[in-house]
């Protein structure tokens, strides 16, 4: 059976699906028996998923040309009306 340290060292391999069937079984067996490692593995999985979501959103949030043009037009109109 894995020790807590071994589980900690292999947690990212588990999240990335890079474990053999035997390794996954040992990993899951340890999680069934160790609440601290269950908490750690759960928090790690949530953190990785959050980082993937943020990275995905960051790459998809580029404003298109129409939005930029509309912002420039609105800014120009507001600048002219404030100059009066």
Which CATH architecture describes the domain 4-82? Orthogonal Bundle (1.10)
Structure tokens that stand for 59 in this block: 């790459």
Is the pLDDT reported for residue 66 higher than 80? no
Residue 41 burial class via C-beta count within 10 angstroms: exposed 0-12, middle 13-18, buried 19 and up: buried
**Span 4-54, pLDDT tens digits:** 999 999 999 999 999 999 999 999 999 999 999 999 999 999 999 888 887
Map out the domains of the chain as residue ranges: 4-82
Give the whole-angstrom CA distance, residue 18 versus residue 68: 43
């Amino acid at each position: 059976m894995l020790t807590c340290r071994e589980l900690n060292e292999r947690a990212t391999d588990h999240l990335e699906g890079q474990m053999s069937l035997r390794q996954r079984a040992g990993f899951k067996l340890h999680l069934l028996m160790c609440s601290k490692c269950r908490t750690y593995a759960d928090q790690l999985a949530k953190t990785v998923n959050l980082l993937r979501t943020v990275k995905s959103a960051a790459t998809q949030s580029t404003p298109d040309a129409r939005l930029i043009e509309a912002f420039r037009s609105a800014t120009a109109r507001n600048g002219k009306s404030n100059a009066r």
